[in-house]
C-alpha cells in the first residue's frame, strides 16, 4: 500500500510550534509512567458526561500561571472591557472602527459582521456583547426591533423564573390565596399554616404523585446541588466568578438560575456537568457590557444565548445518542477524518502507530468548546470565530481542533503514546491569532 505523501505546505515552519525545553518532557515522563498512562487512557469513556483570519503576528502569547488575557490585560480590572492596561494597537483601532461602523447601521449586514468576527473581535467596551447577541440570533439585524425583542425575551425569562424557581411553599400559598382564602387563619398559632383540609395530595410535601410540586422539588435537589458545586468552582482564579464579594456571589447566583431554568425546561438533557464552563464566557461578556441596561439584564440575555449555542451541541450531552450520527462519537470521527485528509502521516502515527484514540483528548475539546484548553480570555477570541460560522459553531470547532494537531505535528510525530497523550491533554500555550489563521487556511483548502 502506497502511503499518502505529506503535503509540501505542511512542511513549512509556519505550521509548527517549536518544542519547549527538554525539562518539560522530562517532567511529564517522570510523573507519568507509560503503564499508568495507558490505563488512564483506556478507562476514558464517552458515557461519563463532561467531567472533566489574517496572517499571524510574529509575537507569541506569553504563558502565565493564571488565566491571562491577550495583549497583557488584567483580569482584576483596569481600562477597557476586560481591563486592558497595555492599550489597544493600531490594528485593534482599525478593527474596532470597522465593527462599530457595521453595528451603527440601521440594518446590519450579517455576512460582513461574521467576516469581521472571524478575525477575532477587539476587546473594546460593549462590542463583543452586542456582536455575540447578533451572531447567536438573539438580536435581529434590524436595529429598530432590538428594543421590542429584548423587552419580550427578558419578560419571558422572568416568567420562567417565577414559574420554575419558586419554592413549593410559596406556590401553595399563592394557590390558597387564588381560591379566596386571603384572610384565612392569620391569627396566633394558625399563622403561616394551612389546615389539612386545605392541602390537596399534590400539595402535600410527602406526596409521590407525578403532579406533586413537592415531589418535583425533591427530585430537583440533586441537580441543584450539582449546579451549586460546579458554579462555585468555575474559574477560581478570576475574581468575577469566585471572589468573596457581593458582586461575585451575585454572578454565581445568576449562573445557577440560568442552569437550573435550562435543566427544568429541558427534561431530556437536564443539567450536564461542565455546562457551567460553556455558560461562563457568555455571562462574563454580557455582565461586563458598559451599557447599564444590558449589564443589569445579563442573566436573561445570557440564558437565551446559552440555549441557542447549546442547541447545536445538545445531542452531545445525551448519552443515548452517543453512537448515533448526531452524537459525540460521530463528531470525534469527523475530526479524525479531517486530520487524515489534511495529514495522513500524522493521522497514521497517532491512531495506528501510537494508538492514541482521538476520543482520549477530543471528547473534552469538543464538548467543552475548548474552554479547558486555553486561558479564559483567549477563549473569548476563539469563540468569536466559532460563533461567526454561518454553518454553525461545530464546523469551526472541528477545524480549530484539527489546526491544534497540525501546529504540534512535529512533536506528535516524534512522540510515543505517553508523551502524545500528555501533550494533547495539556495543550501548550500558543498564539491564538496564529491558530485561527491555520484553521482558516485548512478550511479554505477543503473548499478548493
Q: What is the tens place of the pLDDT at every residue in 205-257?
A: 544 455 555 566 667 888 999 999 999 999 999 999 988 899 999 999 999 99
Same domain, 277 and 158: yes
Other Cβ atoms closer than 10 A to 283:
24
- Within a domain: 6: no
Residue 195 CA, distance from chain mean position = 48
Q: Is the dihedral of CA 36, 365, 424, 30 positive or negative?
A: negative
Other Cβ atoms closer than 10 A to 172:
20
Percent residues over pLDDT 90 in the chain? 55
d(CA 410, CA 83): 36
pLDDT interval class at 445 (50, 70, 90)? confident
CATH of residue 352's domain is 1.10.472.80
Q: Single out the residue of 369, 159, 161 nearest to residue 260, CA to CA.
A: 161
Same domain, 242 and 307: yes
What's the rounded mean pLDDT across residues 46-72? 39
Same domain, 164 and 274: yes
d(CA 406, CA 275): 28
pLDDT at 291: 95
- Within a domain: 22: no
Same domain, 284 and 344: no
- C-alpha cell of 149? 425583542
Same domain, 143 and 239: yes
Q: Are 234 and 277 in contact (CB under 8 A)?
A: yes
- C-alpha cell of 35? 503503564
Q: Is the dihedral of CA 148, 121, 118, 412 positive or negative?
A: negative
Same domain, 267 and 403: no
Measured in degrees and rounded to the nearest 5, phi and psi for residue 107 equal -125, 115
d(CA 50, CA 272): 7
What angle do the packed helices 359-367 and 328-342 form, to 10 degrees?
110
d(CA 191, CA 29): 68
d(CA 199, CA 201): 7
Q: Is the dihedral of CA 407, 132, 285, 100 positive or negative?
A: positive
Same domain, 252 and 144: yes
Q: Are 418 and 27 in contact (CB under 8 A)?
A: no
Q: CB-based contacts of 110: which residues, under 8 Å, 6+ apart?
A: 134, 141
Q: 3-class DSSP state for residue 306?
A: helix
Residue with cell 497595555: 86
pLDDT at 265: 93
- C-alpha cell of 347? 493521522
Same domain, 425 and 345: yes
Same domain, 303 and 328: no
d(CA 251, CA 230): 13
Same domain, 306 and 325: no
Beta strands per DSSP E along 175-295: none
Same domain, 419 and 349: yes
Q: Assess whether pLDDT exceeds 80 at residue 63.
A: no
- 253-290 per-position pLDDT tens digit: 999 999 999 999 988 888 998 999 999 999 999 999 99
- Within a domain: 70: no
Write down which residue in 247, 280, 311 finishes a domain: 311
Q: Are 95 and 121 in contact (CB under 8 A)?
A: yes
Q: Are 130 and 139 in contact (CB under 8 A)?
A: yes
Write down which residue in 311, 332, 348 finishes a domain: 311
- Within a domain: 76: no
Domain that holds residue 425: 319-445
Quick one: how many helices (H) and strands (E) in the chain? 22, 0
- 176-185 per-position pLDDT tens digit: 555 555 554 4
Radius of gyration of the chain (CA): 25
For the ranges 111-115, 188-192, 358-362, 423-427, the lowest mean pLDDT is seen at 188-192
- C-alpha cell of 283? 455571562
CATH of residue 162's domain is 1.10.8.270
What's the rounded mean pLDDT across residues 140-149? 97
- Within a domain: 433: yes
- Within a domain: 95: no
Q: Are 181 and 198 in contact (CB under 8 A)?
A: yes
DSSP state of 316: G
- C-alpha cell of 42? 483506556
Taking the whole predicted model, whether its pTM rises above 0.85 is answered as no
d(CA 286, CA 275): 17
Q: Which of 301 and 75 is assigned the larger pLDDT?
A: 301
Task: For the chain, give percent helix, strand, coil, nearest 5.
Answer: 60, 0, 40
Number of domains making up the chain:
2
d(CA 135, CA 171): 38
Task: State the chain's mean pLDDT as an integer.
Answer: 78
Same domain, 332 and 441: yes
- Within a domain: 323: yes
For the ranges 26-30, 191-195, 229-233, 243-247, the lowest mean pLDDT is seen at 26-30
- 315-369 per-position pLDDT tens digit: 776 665 556 655 788 899 999 999 999 999 999 999 999 999 999 999 999 999 9
What does the chain come to in residues?
448
DSSP state of 351: I
- Within a domain: 20: no
Amino acid at each position: 500500500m502506497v502511503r499518502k505523501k505529506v503535503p509540501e505546505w505542511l512542511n513549512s515552519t509556519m505550521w509548527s510550534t517549536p518544542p519547549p525545553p527538554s525539562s518539560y518532557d522530562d517532567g511529564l515522563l517522570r510523573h507519568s509512567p507509560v503503564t499508568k498512562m495507558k490505563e488512564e487512557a483506556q478507562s476514558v469513556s464517552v458515557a461519563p458526561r463532561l467531567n472533566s483570519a489574517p496572517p499571524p503576528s510574529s509575537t507569541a502569547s506569553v504563558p502565565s500561571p493564571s488565566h491571562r488575557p491577550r495583549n497583557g490585560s488584567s483580569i482584576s480590572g483596569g481600562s477597557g472591557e476586560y481591563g486592558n492596561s497595555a492599550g489597544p494597537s493600531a490594528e485593534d483601532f482599525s478593527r474596532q472602527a470597522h465593527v462599530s461602523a457595521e453595528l451603527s447601521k440601521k440594518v446590519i449586514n450579517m455576512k460582513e459582521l461574521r467576516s469581521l468576527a472571524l478575525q477575532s473581535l477587539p476587546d473594546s467596551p460593549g462590542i463583543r456583547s452586542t456582536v455575540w447577541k447578533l451572531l447567536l440570533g438573539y438580536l435581529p439585524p434590524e436595529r429598530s426591533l432590538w428594543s421590542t425583542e429584548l423587552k419580550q425575551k427578558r419578560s419571558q425569562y422572568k416568567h420562567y423564573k417565577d414559574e420554575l424557581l419558586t419554592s413549593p411553599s410559596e406556590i401553595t400559598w399563592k394557590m390558597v390565596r387564588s381560591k379566596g382564602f386571603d384572610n384565612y387563619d392569620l391569627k396566633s398559632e394558625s399563622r403561616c399554616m394551612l389546615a389539612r383540609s386545605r392541602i390537596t395530595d399534590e400539595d402535600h410535601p410527602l406526596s409521590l404523585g407525578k403532579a406533586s410540586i413537592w415531589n418535583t422539588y425533591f427530585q430537583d435537589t440533586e441537580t441543584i446541588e450539582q449546579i451549586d458545586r460546579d458554579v462555585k468552582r468555575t474559574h477560581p482564579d478570576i475574581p468575577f466568578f469566585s471572589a468573596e464579594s457581593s458582586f461575585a456571589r451575585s454572578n454565581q447566583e445568576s449562573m445557577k438560575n440560568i442552569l437550573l431554568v435550562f435543566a427544568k425546561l429541558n427534561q431530556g438533557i437536564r443539567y450536564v456537568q461542565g455546562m457551567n464552563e460553556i455558560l461562563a464566557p457568555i455571562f462574563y461578556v454580557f455582565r461586563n457590557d458598559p451599557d447599564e441596561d444590558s449589564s443589569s439584564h445579563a442573566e436573561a440575555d445570557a440564558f437565551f444565548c446559552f440555549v441557542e449555542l447549546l442547541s447545536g451541541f445538545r445531542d452531545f450531552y445525551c448519552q443515548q445518542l452517543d453512537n448515533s450520527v448526531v452524537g459525540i462519537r460521530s463528531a470525534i470521527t469527523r475530526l479524525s477524518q479531517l486530520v487524515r485528509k489534511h495529514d495522513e502521516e500524522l493521522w497514521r502515527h497517532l491512531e495506528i502507530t501510537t494508538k492514541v484514540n482521538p476520543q482520549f483528548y477530543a471528547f473534552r475539546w469538543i464538548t467543552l468548546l475548548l474552554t479547558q484548553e486555553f486561558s479564559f480570555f483567549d477563549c473569548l477570541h476563539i469563540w468569536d470565530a466559532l460563533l461567526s460560522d454561518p454553518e454553525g459553531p461545530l464546523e469551526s470547532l472541528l477545524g480549530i481542533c484539527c489546526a491544534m494537531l497540525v501546529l504540534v505535528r512535529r512533536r506528535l510525530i516524534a512522540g510515543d503514546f505517553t508523551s502524545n497523550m500528555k501533550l494533547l491533554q495539556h495543550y501548550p500555550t500558543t498564539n491564538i491569532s496564529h491558530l485561527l489563521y491555520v484553521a482558516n487556511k485548512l478550511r479554505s483548502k477543503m473548499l478548493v
